[in-house]
Amino acid sequence: MSNNLRTIALGNRTSSAETEENILALGEVVTSLSDAVDLLQSLKDIETNQMFKNFELQFPSDGIDFYKAKKLYEINLIKQALRATRGHQAKAAKLLKMRTSTLNSFIKRHKISY
């Protein structure tokens, strides 16, 4: 821990110049953490985009029912998450970045077995 952060953490009495320096140092730490979070999110977005980069659907001549295709895709994702977690709904919900109650509701509504 830098001296500036140690001073802030310990609450030592400091001069106004030292206080200003400590605040600036803390601001730099916050900015660095924020940048790190943004970078991690960008990496996750890249990973997600890569998953779908080569995904190409062959449309039937009469088209496709978007809502049915979406529902089937969601069911498939949920089944895969449940298999990956050996049926543990809370862990599957975490993988899918949704609430456990939402996942449970979806499983019941669509009668998903895994």
Residue-by-residue pLDDT tens, the chain, 114 positions: 556 555 555 555 557 777 777 787 788 888 887 777 777 777 766 766 676 666 677 888 898 899 998 899 899 999 999 999 999 999 999 999 999 999 999 999 999 987
Whole-prediction pTM value?
Answer: 0.52
Domain extents in the chain? 3-53, 66-109
- By the 10 Å C-beta count (0-12 exposed, 13-18 middle, 19+ buried), 16 is classed as exposed
Task: Check if the beta carbon of residue 91 is closer than 8 Å to that of residue 85.
Answer: yes
